[in-house]
Amino acid sequence: MASSHGSSPVPRGGRDGIYHKERDAPPARCRSVRSLPDVCPKEPTGERRGLCDGPSVVAEHDRWTVYSSKVNLPAALNDPRLAKRESDFFTKTWGLDFAETEVMPSFYLPNITREHFGPYLQEMAQRERIHERCKTICPNKDDVDAASSVATNHDKSRAELEQVPKIFMKPEFALEDPATFNSVLPWSHFNSAGGKSSRDVASSKLLQEKLSHYLDVVEVSIARQISLRSDAFFHAMSSQHELQDRLQETQRAVAVLRGRTAAIDRIMCQGPLQALRTALTRNNCVKLHNKLKLMAAVHQTQPTVQLLLSTSEFVGALELISTTKEVLQQELQGIHSFRHLGSQLCELEKLIDKMMVEDFSMYARSDLNRVLKDEPLVLEKERLESLVFGLLRQRKLDFLDIYSDETIMAAKAIVSQCVVENVLNIEDIDTEVVTKLFDQMRLMTFPQWFELLRNIFESFLLFLQRIKATLSVIKNVVLEVLASNQRNRLLEEAAGSGASVQEAPRGPSLLQGQAELAYLTHEGLFISDALNEAQQQQQQLVQDQSSAVGSRIQQSRAEAAGSDSAETSISTEQSFMSGENMMPSDLELNRVINNLQELLHTASDVSHDRCVKVLTARAKDGSLARLSSAEFVCLSQAVEGFVRDTEELCSRRSGSLRGALQSQANRFVHRFHDERKTKLSLLLDNERWKQAEVPAEFQDLVNSIADGRITLPERKIPAPEDRRPAEFLLVNGQKYAVVGTVLLLIRIFLEYCQCVNDIPSIATDMLTRLSDLLKHFNSRSCQLVLGAGALQVVGLKTITTKNLALASRCLQLVVHYIPVIRAHFETKLQPKQFSVLRHFDHITKDYNDHVAEISAKLVAIMDGLFEKVLSKYEVKAPMPSACFRNACKQMAKMHEAISELLPEEQTQMLFLRINASFKMHLKRQLARLGVVNDGGPQNGLVVVDVAFYTDNVQALKNLDRLDLNMAEIWEQKR
C-alpha cells in the first residue's frame, strides 16, 4: 500500500545474531496494527514455510491455490465467495488481545520528544512560509489543469446521474415491493385487454431502451470513478511483492527469536518456576490447614450457643453468633458444608431476641410484684444489666414499653392488695357479701379509710423508689454504652490521623498487588526472591487473621464453660463493646435515656391515677363532702405530702391527684361556706342588737390576730381561775362594743383563714366565699337594723339609737379586720391571682357606706326631733324656754346612748352634725318669727336660750371643747 513506504526499516542482523533497531533512524509514530485488505493476489514465493516449526505470521492462513488469484479489480471486488473483506488478519490466529496489547517500550531506544525537533523546525519555518507564499501566488499549471478537468468531469458526471430517477438511488430500493415495481415498470402504458398492439410494443421497447440508458450512465460513472483511483490500485499491486519479501524476513527473525526464548525458558525459568509452584503449594496447604481449624471452630458454634443460653448468657451467645457470621462471610464464604449455617444462625439469633424479651418481661413482672417492704431496691442487678446489654445490642429499644405495661399492672395490684389487707382487720365488713373493693372502701369509717389511703401512699412511694432504682441501673448501662461509642469514635479518628503520618499495615490485597509487580521493583539477582518475600508476608497476615478469629470463637466457648457472675458481667460488657456494628447510635441511646425519664414520669402518673380512683370511689356517695374541717385538712395534708414526695422523687409535677383533691376541696368549700353562712344567718336573725360581754377566749383570739397569728388557737380546758368576760373588746388599745354575732363572725373568718393555711389550693375559692359571707353580713345587718327587719324577726319594739350605734361599731370592727384578711390571703395567692383581692376593696366601701348611713340615720332622728320641737318655739319668758329644755334633754339622751358605744372622735363628729341640724331649724324659726340680732328684748331672750343650749351641750362628756358656733343662727345683714 501507499502507506507501506513510510513504515520503519527492517531490523538488520548484527554480528551476535541479535536484531537491533538502528539508533540514528528517526523515530516513527507508533500506529496500531491493522489488517491489510485482501485485494491483491497471494502468489507463492517458492520458499519454505519458515525457519522453524513455530507459528508463522505470514503463512498461517490457508494455502494458495489457483482459485485465489484475481485477474482484475472487478473480479476482486465482486468475488461471490467472500461475504465481507478480511479484517481479522492478525486477530483470528492469536485472539482479540493481539491488536490491543500494549508493547513495552524498548530500553535501548531513547525517548524522542518534540524538543528534539526544535532546532530543525526553527530552521525550516522561514523556508516553509516562503514556499507557502509562493504556492499561493503562482499555483502549478498541472495542478490547475488537473483541477479544472476534474471539476469538468465531476459536473458532467453529476449532470448525467441526475437523469437517472431518484428511486433507483434510494437505499430501500427493492423490486419485490409492489409500489416500487409499478413505479419502475408502469404497466398502465400497456393494453390490459389482451393482445399486443403496435403501440404497446413501441412503449415496451422505449422503456427497455430507457432502462438500458440508465444502466449505461451508471456504469460509465462507476468506470470514471475507478479510473480516477487506478493509480492507487496499481501502486498497491506493485508494492505487494515488496511487502511479501519483508514479511518473509520478519518471519525468519521471529523464528530465531522464538528458538532462543525457548532455550532461555528451558535453562533459566523452569527450575525457579517449579520452586515457586512448590512454595505456593506449601502456602496453600497451610491456608487449607488454617481453614480446616477455623471450620472446626465454627462447627462448634451451635452447641456453644446452646450452652450459653442455658446459663442466660445472651450477650455472649449473640457475640459468638456475630463472630461466626462474620467468619462465614469473610473467611469461609462459599463453603458448601456451611451453606445452611448462616440461616440457622439468623434463626437462632431471632430466637435469642424472643428469649431476651420474654426474660425481661418475667424480670419486670417479678421485680414489680414482689413484697414492697424488707426487700432490696434492685432485684438481681447483674441479670438486669446482662438483659439490657443484650437488648441494646440487638437494637430492641422498645423493651421499656414492656416495663411500662408491667408498671401499670403492678400499680393496680398494689391498690387491691392494700384494700384486702385493711379489710381483713375490719370485722364489720363481710367480704363474702361485699365483693367489690370500691364498695368495701365505702363501708369503712373515715379513720379506717384514711389509714388505708396512707398505706396506699406509703406503698406507692416504695414502689416508685424501686422503679427509680431499676431505671437508674438501666440508665447506667445505656450511659456506659454511650461512653464506649464515644471512645471507639475517638480511637477511629486517632487511627485515621495516624495513618496519614505513618503508613498503616497493608492488607492481603496490597501484598498481592506487590507480588504481581515484584519483577518491576526488585533489584536482586532473581525475581523469584521478590515473589517469595511477598507471598510469605501475605501468608503470615492470613495466618494471624485466622488465628485471631479462631481465638475469638474459642474464647466464647471458654466463657460458656463456666464463670462466676461478676466475671460474666465483665466479659458480657467486653463482648458487647466488640460488636460495634450492632450498637445503637448516639441518637438512639439518648432517646432511650429520655424514655427512661418519661417512664419514671409515667409511673408517677399511674400511681397518682390509682390514688385518684381511690378518692373518687370514696367520694361517690358524698362521704368526703360531709367531712369535718379537721378531717378534710388531714386528708388534704396527706395528699399534698404524697404529691410533694413523688415530685421530689420523680421530678414530675402530676396534676391528676391534685385535681381530684381540688374537686373534693371545691365541694368541701361549698359545704363549709354554706354551713357558716347558714349559721351566720341564724345568728343575725336571733340577734337582739344589744351589747354582749366579751369572753376571754375571744379577747385572746383578737390579741393573737394583733400579733400576726391568723389561725385558730388550740382549744384549752377551761380552768376555774380563768378571767371573767369583759364589757368591751380591746383591739390595738381601742374599745369596741360588739354584739355576740360579730364575735362569732371573727371566729368564722379565722376558720376560713385556717382552711387556707391548711389547703393552699383552695385560696381563691375560699376568698370568694369569704367575700360573699362578709357581704351577706353587711346586707343582712342593714336589713335588720336600718331596715327595721329586727322588729318582725326578733320582736323588738323599736330600733333605738343604741342599736344603731352598736351596729355601726360592729361594722367598724369588721372593716378593721378586712386589711388583715386581705394581707393573709395575698400571701397564699399566686401573683396572677391578685386580681381577686379587689373584692375586699368593694366590701370595704360597702361597709363604710353602711356606717355612713347609720350616722346619717342618727342625725336624721335628731333632725326630725328638732324640727318638731323648734316649730313651736316662741320668744317669750320664762327663760330658758320649754323647747330648748326639751331639745337639750333629747340631746342628753342621745349622748347617753352612744357615748359609751362610739369612740370620742366619732361622737364629736356626730354631735357637730346634730348641732348643725339644730342651728338650721332654729335659724329657720327665728326667721319665721322675725327675730333679728339687733340687741333688742327678743334678741336678748334668744341669747339666753342659746346660752342655755350651749352650756348643756358642752356639759356632756367629751364635748366640752366642741365649737358650736351659734352665731350662724342669725341672718347676715346685707
Q: Give residue-wise pLDDT tens across range 792-813.
A: 888 888 888 899 999 999 999 9
Residue 731, SS3 per DSSP: strand
Predicted confidence at residue 57, as pLDDT, reads 42
Half-sphere exposure of residue 232: CA atoms within 13 angstroms, side-chain side: 8
**What is the per-residue DSSP string for 523-535?**
-SS-HHHHHHHHH
Average pLDDT over residues 530-542: 52
| 887-904 as b/e: b if 16+ CB within 10 A | bbebbeebbebbbbbbee
Helices 565-578 and 381-393, packing angle to 10 deg: 10
Q: Which stretches of 664-779 are assigned E, i.e. beta strand?
A: 729-731, 734-736
Predicted confidence at residue 422, as pLDDT, reads 74
Of 49-53, 305-309, 590-594, 644-648, minimum mean pLDDT range? 49-53
More confident residue, 379 or 473: 473
Q: Give residue-wise pLDDT tens across range 677-719.
A: 999 999 988 988 888 888 888 888 888 888 878 777 766 555 5
Give the torsion through C-alpha atoms of 295, 298, 300, 303, to 10 deg: -150
Instruction: Give CA angle at 666 (665, 668), nearest 5°.
Output: 60
Average pLDDT over residues 802-828: 91
Helices (H) and strands (E) in the chain, counts: 32, 4
Q: Give residue-wise pLDDT tens across range 354-402.
A: 777 777 888 888 888 787 776 777 877 887 887 787 777 777 777 888 8
Residue 729 has pLDDT above 80, yes or no: yes
Average pLDDT over residues 570-589: 57
Predicted confidence at residue 573, as pLDDT, reads 43
Nine cell digits for residue 605: 402518673
Nine cell digits for residue 635: 386528708
Q: Give residue-wise pLDDT tens across range 861-915.
A: 999 998 998 888 888 888 888 899 999 999 999 888 888 888 888 898 999 999 9
Distance CA 323, CA 93 (A): 52
Task: For residue 565, give Cα distances in angstroms to 81, 311, 375.
Answer: 90, 10, 21
Distance CA 147, CA 154 (A): 10
Q: Give residue-wise pLDDT tens across range 638-675.
A: 888 888 888 888 887 877 888 888 788 888 888 888 88
Distance CA 370, CA 747 (A): 51
Predicted confidence at residue 248, as pLDDT, reads 92
CB 931 within 8 A of CB 942: yes
Residue 846 has pLDDT above 90, yes or no: yes
**DSSP β-bridge partners for residue 863:** none
- The top-scoring range by mean pLDDT among 224-233, 476-485, 765-774 is 765-774
Distance CA 315, CA 563 (A): 14
Identify the CA nearest to 518 among candidates 506, 509, 530.
Answer: 530
- Single-letter amino acid code for the residue at 614: V
Place of cell 401512699: 457
Residue 257, SS3 per DSSP: helix
| pLDDT-derived band at 575, boundaries 50, 70, 90 | very low
| pLDDT-derived band at 548, boundaries 50, 70, 90 | low
CB 397 within 8 A of CB 357: no
Residue 71 has pLDDT above 70, yes or no: no
Predicted confidence at residue 551, as pLDDT, reads 56
Query: What is the dihedral sign for C-alpha 261, 266, 272, 274?
Result: positive
CB 328 within 8 A of CB 340: no
Distance CA 677, CA 698 (A): 20
| pLDDT-derived band at 777, boundaries 50, 70, 90 | very high
Distance CA 745, CA 768 (A): 16
- The top-scoring range by mean pLDDT among 404-413, 421-430, 570-579 is 404-413
Distance CA 386, CA 566 (A): 11
Identify the CA nearest to 154 among candidates 221, 236, 106.
Answer: 221
Average pLDDT over residues 838-852: 93
Residue 855 has pLDDT above 80, yes or no: yes
Residue 266 has pLDDT above 60, yes or no: yes
Task: For residue 518, give Cα distances in angstroms to 102, 282, 531.
Answer: 20, 20, 6
**What is the per-residue DSSP string for 796-812?**
-S---HHHHHHHHHHHH
CB 774 within 8 A of CB 746: no
Task: For residue 917, give Cα distances in angstroms to 126, 557, 898, 912, 961.
Answer: 144, 117, 18, 9, 19
Of 149-163, 214-228, 766-780, minimum mean pLDDT range? 149-163
| pLDDT-derived band at 849, boundaries 50, 70, 90 | very high
Predicted confidence at residue 190, as pLDDT, reads 55
Query: What is the dihedral sign for C-alpha 254, 256, 261, 266?
Result: positive
Average pLDDT over residues 265-278: 89
Residue 766 has pLDDT above 70, yes or no: yes
Average pLDDT over residues 142-146: 61
**DSSP β-bridge partners for residue 216:** none
Distance CA 825, CA 753 (A): 8
Distance CA 291, CA 330 (A): 12
Residue 154 has pLDDT above 80, yes or no: no
Half-sphere exposure of residue 130: CA atoms within 13 angstroms, side-chain side: 5
**What is the per-residue DSSP string for 325-389?**
HHHHHHTSTT-GGGTTHHHHHHHHHHHHHHHHHHHHHHHHHHHHSS-SSSS-SSSSHHHHHHHHH
Residue 110 has pLDDT above 80, yes or no: yes
Place of cell 500494549: 102
Average pLDDT over residues 171-178: 86
Distance CA 603, CA 651 (A): 12
Instruction: Give CA angle at 231 (227, 237), nearest 5°.
Output: 115
Average pLDDT over residues 587-611: 86
**DSSP β-bridge partners for residue 729:** 736
Q: Give residue-wise pLDDT tens across range 506-515.
A: 444 444 444 4
Distance CA 283, CA 843 (A): 107
Task: For residue 735, give Cα distances in angstroms to 727, 808, 892.
Answer: 9, 13, 22
Average pLDDT over residues 247-256: 94
**DSSP β-bridge partners for residue 248:** none
Predicted confidence at residue 536, as pLDDT, reads 58
Predicted confidence at residue 140, as pLDDT, reads 65
Predicted confidence at residue 7, as pLDDT, reads 38
Identify the CA nearest to 927 among candidates 937, 916, 935, 938.
Answer: 938
Helix ranges restricted to H, 829-903: 838-870, 882-898
Give Cβ neighbours of residue 859 (< 8 Å, ≥ 6 apart): 910, 913, 914, 917
Average pLDDT over residues 44-63: 44
Predicted confidence at residue 815, as pLDDT, reads 93
Predicted confidence at residue 937, as pLDDT, reads 85
Residue 694, SS3 per DSSP: strand
Average pLDDT over residues 190-195: 50
Half-sphere exposure of residue 858: CA atoms within 13 angstroms, side-chain side: 30
CB 621 within 8 A of CB 575: no
Average pLDDT over residues 86-91: 56
Residue 532 has pLDDT above 60, yes or no: no
Q: Based on C-alpha coordinates, what's the Rg of the chain?
A: 64
Distance CA 257, CA 280 (A): 31
Task: For residue 901, give Cα distances in angstroms to 669, 738, 802, 803.
Answer: 36, 9, 8, 10
- Element (H or E) spanning 12, and its range? strand 12-13
Average pLDDT, the chain: 76
Q: Cα–chain-centroid distance for residue 722?
A: 72
**DSSP β-bridge partners for residue 13:** 19
More confident residue, 615 or 497: 615
Identify the CA nearest to 568 among candidates 303, 376, 311, 392.
Answer: 311
Residue 773, SS3 per DSSP: helix
777 burial level (CB within 10 Å; 0-12, 13-18, 19+): buried
The number of residues in the chain equals 974
**DSSP β-bridge partners for residue 726:** 694
CB 729 within 8 A of CB 736: yes
Residue 123, SS3 per DSSP: helix
Predicted confidence at residue 362, as pLDDT, reads 83
First to last CA, the chain: 159
